[in-house]
């Protein structure tokens, strides 16, 4: 069981707590608003009324032992920066902070954030990709240059083995897993002799521009 804390219980923070708790994790929810704490109480391990900009009160919570702390303070940019700075001083190793914009994110990085969350931007990209690229069943941006996607196999792939396709040499991408639908099966790091069927789903890792070439094969 992993341990997490979420500071700030607006919409994003509330659902982050609920999702983490439903996945079987130990989750501490923190907010200065008693109403929000009462609302989240059934969906977390512990709900605490606390002004998180008070460094001394943060210290006693044992947050440095958490697997991750999420900071989601809405539009209060200065508050999120201060809390992030305190968490870094306390010794929290993984600090994820929701940012309002790129400049906010850059400042958060400088004061200790290990990961910046842009909920609206990331969701917009996800939805747009699903609309404009219907063969992409799922899309996970790893960095600015690399993506991990699930795609239906292009016609040119069907009936051929991974060895024969030689995707690493031709397209500089890697098939890291295959989900077989008939019969249902999941193959992690498939063997080179695996022959692709039209009912398979391919999980492909590679640079965004190279993956676009793969998706362009399927007309």
- Assign 16 a pLDDT band (cuts: 50, 70, 90): very high
Coil/strand/helix, residue 213: helix
pLDDT value for 219: 45
67 contacts 94 by C-beta, under 8 angstroms: yes
Alpha carbon distance 64, 35 (integer Å): 27
pLDDT value for 141: 56
**pLDDT over threshold 90, residue 145:** no
Average pLDDT over residues 192-214: 89
Q: What is the pLDDT of residues 94-128, one digit of tens each?
A: 999 999 888 999 999 999 999 998 888 777 766 66
- Assign 209 a pLDDT band (cuts: 50, 70, 90): confident
**104-113, 135-144, 163-172: the lowest-pLDDT one:** 135-144
Q: What is the pLDDT of residues 56-88, one digit of tens each?
A: 999 999 999 999 999 999 788 999 999 999 999
* Among the listed residues 72, 75, 63, 76, the one whose alpha carbon sits nearest the alpha carbon of residue 31: 72
Alpha carbon distance 32, 83 (integer Å): 13
**pLDDT over threshold 80, residue 93:** yes
Burial class from Cβ neighbours inside 10 Å (0-12, 13-18, 19+) for residue 52 reads: buried
Q: What is the pLDDT of residues 43-62, one digit of tens each?
A: 999 999 999 999 999 999 99
Domain boundaries, the chain: 3-118, 130-216
Query: Considering the chain, what is the average pLDDT of its residues?
Result: 88
**Is 130-216 in CATH node 3.90.1150.10?**
no
Alpha carbon distance 90, 146 (integer Å): 33
Q: Which CATH number fits domain 3-118: 3.30.980.10, 3.40.50.720, 3.30.1480.10, 3.30.300.30?
A: 3.40.50.720
Give the single-character DSSP code of 156: G
85 contacts 40 by C-beta, under 8 angstroms: no
Contacts of residue 186, defined as CB under 8 A and 6 or more positions apart, other chains included, come to: 177, 178, 179, 180
69 contacts 5 by C-beta, under 8 angstroms: yes
Residue bearing the bigger pLDDT, 97 or 182:
97
* Among the listed residues 168, 181, 173, 166, the one whose alpha carbon sits nearest the alpha carbon of residue 204: 173
């Amino acid at each position: 069981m992993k341990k997490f804390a979420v500071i700030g219980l607006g919409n994003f923070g509330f659902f982050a707590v609920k999702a983490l708790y439903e996945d079987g994790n130990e989750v501490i929810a923190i907010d200065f608003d008693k109403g929000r704490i009462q609302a989240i109480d059934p969906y977390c391990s512990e709900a605490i009324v606390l002004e998180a900009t008070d460094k001394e009160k943060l210290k006693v919570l044992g947050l440095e032992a958490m697997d991750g702390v999420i900071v989601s303070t809405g539009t209060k940019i200065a508050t999120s920066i201060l809390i992030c700075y305190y968490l870094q001083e306390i010794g929290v190793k993984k600090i994820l902070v929701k940012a309002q914009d790129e400049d906010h994110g850059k400042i958060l990085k400088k004061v200790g954030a290990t990961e910046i969350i842009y909920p609206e931007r990331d969701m917009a990209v996800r939805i747009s990709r699903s609309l404009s690229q219907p063969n992409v069943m799922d899309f996970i941006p790893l960095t600015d240059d690399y993506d991990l996607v699930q795609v239906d196999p292009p016609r040119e792939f069907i009936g051929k083995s991974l060895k024969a396709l030689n995707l690493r040499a031709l397209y500089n991408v890697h098939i890291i897993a295959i989900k077989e639908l008939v019969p249902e099966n999941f193959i992690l790091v498939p063997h080179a002799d695996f022959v692709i069927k039209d009912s398979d789903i391919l999980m492909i890792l590679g640079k965004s521009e190279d993956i676009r070439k793969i998706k362009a094969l399927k007309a």
